[in-house]
């Protein structure tokens, strides 16, 4: 008898077909009444396929599914899953690290270049025919500038390597110094913000980093500084960011992530010193394909009694 998989979001069509061959897949996002569907199938569901942009895997959901054994997250960040509730039940959780590191780091660099060289504004300038009336205002160079990276994990290190290749000085802050890394450790985020021209967020989301970038940090970054966020919206106090941008306490921001996605404060739409992306850090055909492959491989490994490929520590 095939196992029942509750899918809270989709993989690519060919990957969903593969899942359909191995599991009875409940595609919750297609259901008219998701709560009623969950209630009707609660005793059958043994695994969940989750995504950051899908329904959260809350304690309530975990507790409502008595036979749940495994949660396979499509993504590296797992702050949409109640890991404590999962651990209490001995439920295995997997994610998709490493395979998305390069693309997410590239997205940070795309934002870095876009805000400093005003790429989106410049594109609009040409399209609107304004070039005929004169030259575009000057941007800011990256070379010789200082970048502060919050969270020197896999993605942070990939960002650091790229920034070093742009001849930038690289600082980092995080819970501990990493002596094997060739970059300068700052003990405090405030000190790092103070020294940086660009502050790039690549840390984990969740309670330990909740709103650590607040007005004080943005003020330290200063009126010539730019904020880049490819981590989680929760890392930044969004109200403080809006105020700092509005008051020009910082020069600008490049954002891929927000509080309460995809609902973005409309105030941002009117600001020409921000570049706004719709959470596309890992969104390439190649990376999304291998992320989906890893999700499927973890699910199959679990139900074949084989070691999981990429298990999240309990
Ligand atoms: C999302 C991400 O998983 O990996 C992460 O943590 O935020 C992204 O890759 C992806 O957008 C699907 O929700």
Give the side-chain half-sphere CA count within 13 A for 147. 33
- Please tell me the distance between residue 11's alpha carbon and the centre of ligand 1 in angstroms: 12
DSSP 8-state class, residue 213: B
Ligand 1 pocket, 74 CB below 6 A? yes
Ligand 1, residue 9: give the atom nearest the CA.
Answer: 13
- Please tell me the distance between residue 206's alpha carbon and the centre of ligand 1 in angstroms: 14
- Max CA separation in the chain (angstroms): 71
Kindly list the catalytic residues.
232, 261, 279
Tell me how far CA of residue 158 lies from CA of 144, 149, 213, in angstroms: 19, 11, 21
CA dihedral 204, 211, 197, 152 (to 10 degrees): -20
Cα–Cα distance, 46 to 3 (Å, whole number):
7
Ligand 1, residue 74: give the atom nearest the CA.
Answer: 3
- Residues of 214-244 as b/e, b for ≥16 C-beta within 10 angstroms? eeebbbbbbeebbbbbbbbbbbbbbebbbeb
Cα–Cα distance, 213 to 203 (Å, whole number):
11
pLDDT digits (tens, 9 = 90+) for 22-34: 999 999 999 999 9
Closest CA to 100 of 130, 74, 136: 74
Q: Would you tell me the crossing angle of helices 101-117 and 119-127 to the nearest 10 degrees?
A: 60
Q: Would you tell me the crossing angle of helices 13-22 and 285-303 to the nearest 10 degrees?
A: 10
Ligand 1 pocket, 100 CB below 6 A? yes
Percent of the chain whose predicted confidence (pLDDT) is above 70: 100
Ligand 1 pocket, 104 CB below 6 A? no
Alpha carbon nearest to ligand 1 atom 3, residue? 75
Alpha carbon nearest to ligand 1 atom 6, residue? 77
Residue 1 has pLDDT above 70, yes or no: no
Alpha carbon nearest to ligand 1 atom 8, residue? 75
Top-confidence residue, 214 or 54 = 214
Cα–Cα distance, 202 to 100 (Å, whole number):
13
pLDDT digits (tens, 9 = 90+) for 153-171: 999 999 999 999 999 999 9
Rounded average pLDDT over 195-210: 97
pLDDT value of position 26: 98
pLDDT digits (tens, 9 = 90+) for 88-115: 999 999 999 999 999 999 999 999 999 9
Count Cβ atoms within 10 A of the Cβ of residue 208 and give its class: 0-12 exposed, 13-18 middle, 19 or more buried: exposed
Ligand 1 pocket, 193 CB below 6 A? no
pLDDT value of position 217: 98
Ligand 1 pocket, 302 CB below 6 A? no
Residue 73 has pLDDT above 80, yes or no: yes
pLDDT value of position 286: 98
Rounded average pLDDT over 144-153: 98
Cβ atoms within 10 Å, residue 314:
12
Ligand 1, residue 51: give the atom nearest the CA.
Answer: 13
- Please tell me the distance between residue 249's alpha carbon and the centre of ligand 1 in angstroms: 30
Given a contact cutoff of 8 angstroms between Cβ atoms, the answer to whether 227 and 254 are in contact is: yes
Ligand 1 pocket, 279 CB below 6 A? yes
């Amino acid at each position: 008898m095939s196992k029942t998989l509750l899918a809270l979001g989709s993989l690519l069509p060919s990957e969903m077909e593969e899942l359909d061959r191995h599991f009875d897949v409940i595609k919750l996002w297609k259901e008219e009444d998701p709560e009623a569907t969950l209630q009707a199938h609660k005793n059958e569901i043994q695994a969940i396929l989750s995504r950051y942009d899908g329904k959260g895997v809350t304690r309530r959901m975990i507790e409502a599914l008595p036979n749940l054994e495994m949660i396979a997250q499509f993504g590296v960040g797992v702050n949409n899953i109640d890991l404590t509730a999962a651990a209490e039940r001995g439920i295995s959780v997997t994610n998709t690290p490493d395979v998305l590191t390069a693309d997410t780091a590239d997205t940070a660099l795309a934002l870095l270049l876009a805000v400093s060289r005003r790429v989106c504004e410049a594109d609009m300038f040409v399209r609107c025919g304004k070039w005929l009336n004169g030259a575009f205002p000057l941007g800011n160079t990256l070379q010789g500038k200082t970048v502060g990276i919050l969270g020197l994990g896999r993605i942070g290190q990939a960002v650091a390597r790229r920034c070093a290749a742009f001849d930038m000085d690289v600082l980092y802050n995080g819970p501990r110094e990493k002596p094997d890394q060739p970059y300068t450790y700052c003990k405090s985020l405030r000190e790092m913000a103070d020294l940086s021209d660009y502050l790039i967020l690549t840390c984990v989301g969740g309670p330990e980093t909740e709103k650590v970038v607040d007005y004080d940090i943005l003020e330290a970054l200063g009126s010539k500084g730019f904020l880049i966020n490819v981590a989680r919206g929760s890392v930044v106090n969004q109200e403080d960011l809006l105020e700092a941008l509005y008051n020009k306490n910082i020069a600008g921001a490049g954002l891929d992530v927000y509080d309460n996605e995809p609902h973005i404060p409309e105030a941002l739409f009117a600001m020409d010193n921000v570049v706004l992306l719709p959470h596309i850090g890992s969104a390439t055909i190649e990376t999304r394909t291998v992320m989906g492959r890893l999700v499927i491989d973890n699910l199959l490994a679990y139900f074949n009694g084989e070691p999981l490929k990429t298990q999240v520590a309990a």
